[in-house]
Structure 1
Amino acid sequence: MAIHKLQIDDFVTVDYELIAIHSSLEDYRLAYFINQSLPVLLEKSHKDINMKFTKSESCFSRFVFEDIDTDSIWNLIQNKNSVVTTQEQEVTSLFSNIKLDMITNSYFLPEFKKVDYILKVENIPTPLTSTSLINELLAVKHITTAYTIEHNKLKSKNNLIF
């Protein structure tokens, strides 16, 4: 009798492209300019990405476009988020009960702290390739730079499951 073994690696396939985007624009303006240059219609998602960290919780904005014709899904995700936390200090002095506002930054992909936005494209349409997609993004006036992120270098791959 033959023994059949299933390896977990047999089911792990990477069918998406990750593109890092550096831009000083707000997320809604960047989505607008991407909509102008690419054949997509990114819309603000009602479900943002919530993540819990050791001391705080962050909410990353997300813009989504689902193309039914090519069966592709485009996600524009904010990588940086600033969280303001208030701490009270009880000190027996002239300025007792001081409230300090501390700003902490949280990152969707902590390995890429300098990246402002991440574009995740699942099932890239056949006329587009990752290099042509990057060239289209670089044509946008307000995008400083854009490049692909290699999947095997990511330690926080689980953040991309949403």
Structure 2
Amino acid sequence: MAVHKVSLDEFEEIEYSIIAIHTPLEDYRLAYTLNLILELNLSRSAKDILIDIKEGKSFFSKYTFYDCKKDITWHLIQNKNEVTQRNNKKKATLFFDQNLEIPAQTYLLPELKKADFFLKIEACHNNFNVTKTVAKMNTIATINMVYSVKTETIKSKNNLIF
């Protein structure tokens, strides 16, 4: 029987940048606004991002655009979602027994709870300028705050693999 060893050097790591977005806009309105300002064509992905947590399953919306001229993939990802957790313990009240449903807030990246959305930019080349993109996004009046996130500081990087 042959033994095949796999080293970590054999895996190719995709370089990406993360931009955090704070806005009260819905996901489809934000995608439309980013399409106008950044000249993109973000469209809703057929599959949402599924994260299993102790409260239940949580789905985060995702919009994707691949720019073949510049060889850049753009992903607009929702960070906050609400999961309804069912409490199966029957609580007896004076008049009837009831099941309680408790809403719980879930996050794609829990260490960045205040961000509403993330723009993940997968660039195969290093001449992509994130600073210019952040500056363009800061001109949008309906966005409260935009900033670049260092990918080294993200603890839950596995949630960004899709």
TM range (shorter): 0.7 to 0.9
Identity of aligned residues (%): 38
- Aligned CA distance change for structure 1 residues 145 and 79 (closer, same or farther; 3 Å): same
For normalisation by structure 2, the TM-score amounts to 0.87
- Give, in angstroms, the shift of residue 117 of structure 1: 0.1
Aligned equivalents of 1:92, 1:85: Cα separation in 2: 19
* Shift in alpha-carbon separation, 1:124–1:93, aligned structure 2, 3 A: same
Q: Which residue of 2 aligns with 1:116?
A: 116
Count how many residue pairs are aligned between Structure 1 and Structure 2.
157
CA distance in 1: counterparts of 2:105 and 2:150, whole angstroms: 24
Structure 2 counterpart of 1:134, which letter?
A: V
1:141 aligns with 2:141: yes
1:21-62: CA deviation from partner (whole Å, max 9, x where unpaired): 000100000001101100211001101101101231100000
CA positional deviation for 1:73: 0.5
Which 10-residue stretch deviates more, 136-145 or 85-94?
85-94
Consecutive unaligned residues of structure 2, counting only runs of 5 or more, are 1-5
Distance in 2, Cα, partners of 1:7 & 1:125? 24
Change in Cα spacing, 1:58 to 1:24, as seen in structure 2 (3 Å) is same
* Structure 2 counterpart of 1:69: 69
Aligned equivalent of 1:3:
none
Aligned-residue CA RMSD (Å): 2.1
* CA–CA distance in structure 2, aligned partners of residues 152 and 9 of structure 1: 19
Q: Which amino acid aligns with 2:120?
A: K
